[in-house]
Amino acid sequence: MAEVSKLLGHSSIRITEKYYGVWESGRQARMVERQKRRAVTDPILVKERARGQQPTKLRRVK
């Protein structure tokens, strides 16, 4: 959020949080749900499971 605040030229992170904070948490929740659904149908992960391998873990990208 601090990076976004700087990029937008806000004098305070509180301004950014006021307008983007709620949107950000909702967007994050939707993205997490999409990732979970994709993990079930991802062709690479499906093949790994079929071979009895431990599926590749999802990781947060910074």
The token duo for 62 is 């910074």
CA distances from 34 to 5, 22, 37, 51, 61 (A): 26, 19, 5, 25, 15
Encoding tokens for residue 50?
């079929």
Residue 10 has a pLDDT of: 92
Please report which helix (H) or strand (E) contains residue 41, including its range: helix 13-41
pLDDT at 28: 83
Q: pLDDT by residue for the chain (62 residues), tens digit each? A: 888 888 899 999 999 888 887 777 788 888 889 988 888 888 888 888 888 877 667 677 76
